Amino acid sequence: MWMMVGGLVVSSFYAKAQLPTNDSLAIKALANSILADDAIMQNLYYLTKKIGGRLAGSPQMFAAEKWGLAELEKLKPSKVFTQSCLVPRWVRGKGDTAFINYALPNSKKLVSKSLAILALGNSKGTTKPVQAPVVVIKSFTELEERKAEVKGKIVLFNAAFDATTVQPFREYGKNGVYRTTGASRAAKYGAVGVLVRSMSGGTDNLPHTGNMTYNDSFPKIPAAAVGLHDANFIASKAASNASITLHLHGTNLPDTTGNNIIAEITGSEFPNEVITAGGHLDSWDVCEGAHDDGAGVVQTIAILRAFKQLGFAPKHTIRFVLFANEENGTRGAKAYATSFENSNSKPIFALESDAGGFTPRGFGFTVTDAVWEKIQAWRTLLEPYLGDKFVRGGGGADIAPLNRNFQTPIAGLQPDGQRYFDHHHAISDTFEQVNKRELQLGAVNMAALLYLVDKYKL
């Protein structure tokens, strides 16, 4: 029934079945297709175990692009294409170390203890080990109050996640600024290095890396994340003249070319009105990037697979995008948004999965009041699939430019967030932490939302 509407015959040659016209039944058909689809875990296994960490510009990034292109082509959408963009090329280097040097209790004997650290992405290396007394700071307010103490020191930003906050993403939102800007804020007052308490409320001592940027007005000092137990240990020794020895090896190579990998089902009625669904293909170098964001990538592919299996021919064009370089530049996001400038295509909705492959709770929407009112009626359709909790605010780093530049309504899948920061940007973000059914249910809710947006528009 879709194929003749609007006079365009697109994708219909592949139609093996038709979705029921009843929304509830159509969504059930999508759910059945996705929940029976073991390929989603095979995809995730390949991306995480065979390719692994795939930071922008790395050989693994290129392998992931090639793999993504091939996987999308297998599904025979209307077309598959790439969008190139320059991406940064930061390399961690080998042999990063940090030690705390402190006096044993009731002794003047100094001892050193190795610290669990990971250099932050974009951090400069040190030509030789930097040793300096440590100052422990809990907030930028405290930094301003104690700025006179910071000169020549290594600062530990030690802001902890508040365990009584139910949604850990809020703590990440609050504390992330110490990771992204702490180094230059401390360098302004003469600090020679920075450690940042890992962005996690977990129970272990794994360090969690992530991006940082320098303010060019101040010296570019080395910066690393430190595990939670070690951050506590440093804090316990700070009053007794402890020092830190920090030796990092990060370096920035020239930008290189990365690619957004895109599959499209061209719309049967409104081919120039584009709905976007995606996740990001890159990850940090030190982990498998299973939840961040292998999950979003394989969910995106699974939705396309289900749409094709069910012969769904949308009225609007739907693009399935594996974004480049979310972690340290969002250059893929910018290139994607830019592609709509001076184009006769218009982005009418975008949906991202970049909050982990955990059991779905719902979606966060950045939309107008009118759209917000309209979508409330869809909650009962998603309730059987556990994705009916709608909140205002949300989207994803890769689709945010569409909202900023074109006022496109955007949404982000919101899985349960309790486990996410146990693994985020740490070596424990592995395939084993992903549950097949939770991952599939996220894709089910995304597929349902895309179906509804296509059918009813926003």
Which spans of this chain sit near a second copy (rule: CB under 8 A)?
31-32, 35-36, 41, 163-164, 166, 168, 201, 203, 359, 361, 384-386, 416, 418-419, 422, 435-438, 441
Nearer Cβ to a second copy (62/431): 431
In the complex, the smallest distance separating the C-beta of residue 33 from a second copy, rounded to whole angstroms, is: 9
CB atoms within 10 A of CB 304: 25
Strand 130-137 vs strand 243-247: parallel, antiparallel, or unpaired?
antiparallel
3 state SS of 143: helix
- β pairing state of 130-137 and 117-119: unpaired
Which CB, 117 or 386, lies closer to a second copy? 386
- 416-434 core/surface letters (b: 16 or more CB in 10 A; e: else): ebebbbbbbbbbbbbbebb
Alpha carbons 55 and 281: distance in angstroms, whole number: 9
Number of helices (H), then strands (E), belonging to the chain: the values are 13, 16
- Does residue 326 carry a catalytic annotation? yes
DSSP H or E segment with residue 41: helix 39-45
Residue closer to a second copy (CB basis): 66 or 437? 437
312 vs 421, which CB is nearer to a second copy? 421
Least distance in angstroms from the C-beta of 40 to a second copy: 11
Cα 413 to Cα 364, 365, 393, 397: the distances in Å are 7, 9, 11, 12
Contact partners, residue 130, CB within 8 Å, separation at least 6? 154, 192, 193, 222, 245, 246, 247
Residue 118, Cβ neighbours under 10 Å: how many? Answer: 27
Question: What's the min distance (Å) between Cβ of 166 and a second copy?
Answer: 6
Cβ proximity to a second copy: between 65 and 422 the closer is: 422
Taking the least distance from each CB to a second copy, the nearer of 195 and 199 is: 199
| Candidate list 71, 171, 264, 326, residue with the active-site label | 326
Residue 337's alpha-carbon distances to 84, 105, 351, 398, 434, in angstroms, are: 12, 58, 14, 9, 30
In the chain, what are the helix, strand and coil shares in percent, each to the nearest 5?
Answer: 35, 25, 40
Cα-trace Rg, the chain: 24
Angle (CA) 176-401-295 rounded to 5° is 65
Q: Terminus-to-terminus CA distance in the chain, angstroms?
A: 22
* Contact assessment for residue 289 and residue 273, using Cβ atoms and an 8 Å cutoff: no
Q: Which is nearer to a second copy, 419 or 457 (CB)?
A: 419
Q: For the CA atoms of 432, 437, 438, 444, what is the dihedral angle to 10 degrees?
A: 140
Q: Which residues contact 431 (CB under 8 A, 6 or more apart)?
A: 44, 45, 48, 49, 288, 290, 294
Residue 314 or 387 with smaller CB distance to a second copy: 387
What is the DSSP track for 49-106?
III----TTSHHHHHHHHHHHHHHHHT--SEEEEEEEEEEEEE--S--EEEEEEEPTT
Shortest CB 437 distance to a second copy, Å: 4
CB of 169 to a second copy, least distance (A): 12
Pick 73 or 204: Cβ nearer a second copy: 204
As annotated, the active-site residues are 326
